[in-house]
Amino acid sequence: MFVASQIEELVQGCLEAHGIPGLAVGVVSQGALRYARGFGVETPFRIGSVSKPLVGTAIMRLVESGALGLDVPVERYVPWLRLSREATVTLRMLLSHTAGLPALPPYAMGPSRATIEAYVREEFPQLPLVAEPGAVFLYSNPGLVLAGHIAEVASGRPFDDLVRGLVLEPLGMTETHFDLPENPGIRPAAGAVSTVSDLARFALMQMGGGGQILSPASVDLMQSEQVSRYTMDGAGYGLTFFRRSYKGLQLIGHEGKIGTFGSILDMAPEAGAAVILLANQIDSPYLLRPLAQRILDSLLGLPTDVKPVAVAVPDRSVWPGFVGTYIHPTDGLATVAVSEDGHHLTADLGHGPFPLAAHSQRTYFANGPRGCVSLGFVPSRAAGPAPFLMVDGEARARFPFDPAFQLSPAAVSPFVGTYTFAPVADARVTLRLEGSQLWANFPWMAEQEVLCRPLNTNTQFVCSQGIFTLERGDDGRARFQMNGWVGHME
pLDDT of residue 291: 93
Whether residue 403 lies inside any domain: the answer is no
Statement to judge: residues 92 and 229 lie in one domain: yes
What's the rounded Cα separation, in Å, for the pair 345 and 342? 8
**What percentage of the chain has pLDDT greater than the value 70?**
97
Statement to judge: residues 31 and 180 lie in one domain: yes
Statement to judge: residues 391 and 455 lie in one domain: no
Where residue 349 sits, what CATH number does that domain have? 2.40.128
Statement to judge: residues 326 and 423 lie in one domain: no
pLDDT mean over 278-305:
89
The DSSP call for residue 139 is -
Domain that holds residue 370: 316-398
Statement to judge: residues 36 and 157 lie in one domain: yes
pLDDT bucket at 403, cuts 50 / 70 / 90: confident
In 20-129, which residue ranges form alpha helices assigned H by DSSP? Answer: 51-65, 91-96, 116-123
Statement to judge: residues 61 and 168 lie in one domain: yes
pLDDT of residue 447: 64
Q: What is the mean pLDDT of the chain?
A: 92
Q: Is 277 helix (H, G, I), strand (E, B) or coil?
A: strand
Spell out a b/e string for 155-192, using b for 16 or more CB atoms within 10 Å of the CB, else e: bebebbebbbebbbebbebeebbbebeebbbbbbbbbb
Helix axis angle, 196-207 relative to 51-65, nearest 10°?
Answer: 40
Q: Is 39 helix (H, G, I), strand (E, B) or coil?
A: strand
**Sheet of strand 22-29, all strands in order from the earlier edge strand to the far edge:** 32-39, 22-29, 273-280, 261-268, 249-258, 242-246, 236-237, 227-228
Please write the tens of the pLDDT for every residue from 32-88. Answer: 999 999 987 778 999 999 999 999 999 999 999 999 999 999 999 999 998 878 889
pLDDT mean over 187-208:
97
Whether residue 305 lies inside any domain: the answer is no
Statement to judge: residues 256 and 278 lie in one domain: yes
Statement to judge: residues 168 and 37 lie in one domain: yes
pLDDT greater than 80 at residue 335: yes
Radius of gyration of the chain (CA): 23
pLDDT of residue 368: 61
